[in-house]
């Protein structure tokens, strides 16, 4: 019996931002400084195109257009007695900018990227374009990033399991001795990460 080698292919993440997969009131901000109010959603149009897209329309009656980082800098969703802003940020020099949620704004910004990664199994010796994937599974990957205004690429603080998030935050914010000491003494839990970054912005910046 002819054997095939199963190979794991993880393709692009789909419908990344669960809460914003349908139209919601929003403001999109263009790179030229202008903005528009309307209805938008976060979506990847084509799994063969790794650019994360924003679908936007001025009214619910319009069909809408897709935009990406080449024209848009960020999008703010309005509703449910709260606002959420997603900004296009580079997390690697080899990838397109990603839409990351801003959790803390200030001299140092804290971002988070909720992503659903779709894994697909296929037979290595078969033509992928002519054969459906026999299995598909998904998992959620959620990473946190720090970035200063003058930095081109954000720094992930929990992408590398061999080094704790507290150690990576301490190295990134090493100019704040009080915060570094508190992190070493475990005075902040991971759930209090936002508080740690707010402390830095309030007390360790000029």
pLDDT of residue 146: 98
Give domain limits for the chain: 15-114+145-156, 159-206
Distance of CA 39 to the CA centre of its chain: 20
pLDDT tens per residue across span 119-169: 444 444 445 555 554 555 555 668 999 999 999 999 999 988 888 999 999
Strand ranges in 44-189 using DSSP code E only, listed in sequence order = 53-57, 65-67, 72-79, 82-89, 98-104, 108-123, 135-148, 155-156
Q: Is the dihedral of CA 170, 153, 114, 72 positive or negative?
A: positive
Helix (H/G/I), strand (E/B), else coil: 169: helix
CA distances, 12 to each of 16, 65, 115, 165 (Å): 10, 21, 10, 26
| Mean pLDDT for the chain overall | 81
Distance of CA 180 to the CA centre of its chain: 26
Helix (H/G/I), strand (E/B), else coil: 133: coil
Q: Give dist(CA 150, CA 168) in Å, integer.
A: 19
Instruction: Give the pLDDT band of residue 42 (cuts 50, 70, 90).
Output: confident
**Global pTM?**
0.78
Between 51 and 17, the more confident residue is 51
pLDDT tens per residue across span 56-79: 999 989 999 999 999 999 999 998
Burial class (CB in 10 A: 0-12, 13-18, 19+), 56: buried
40 pLDDT above the threshold of 80: yes
């Amino acid at each position: 019996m002819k054997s095939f080698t199963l190979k794991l292919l993880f393709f692009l993440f789909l419908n990344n931002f669960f809460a914003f997969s349908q139209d919601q009131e929003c403001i999109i901000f263009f790179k030229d400084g202008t903005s528009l109010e309307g209805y938008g959603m976060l979506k990847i149009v084509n799994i063969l195109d790794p650019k994360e897209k924003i679908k936007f329309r001025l009214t619910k009656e319009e069909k809408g257009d897709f935009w990406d980082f080449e024209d848009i800098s960020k999008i703010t969703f309005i509703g449910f007695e709260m606002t959420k802003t997603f900004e296009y940020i580079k997390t690697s020099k080899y990838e397109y900018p990603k839409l990351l949620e801003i959790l803390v704004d200030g001299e140092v910004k804290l971002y988070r990227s909720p992503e659903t990664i779709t894994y697909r199994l296929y037979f290595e010796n078969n033509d992928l374009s002519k054969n459906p994937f026999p299995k598909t599974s998904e998992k959620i990957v959620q990473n946190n990033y720090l970035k200063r205004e003058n930095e081109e690429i954000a720094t992930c603080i929990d992408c590398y399991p061999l080094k704790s998030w507290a150690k990576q935050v301490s190295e990134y914010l090493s100019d704040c001795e009080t915060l570094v000491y508190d992190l070493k003494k475990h005075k902040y839990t991971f759930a209090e990460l936002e508080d740690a970054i707010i402390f830095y912005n309030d007390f360790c910046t000029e």
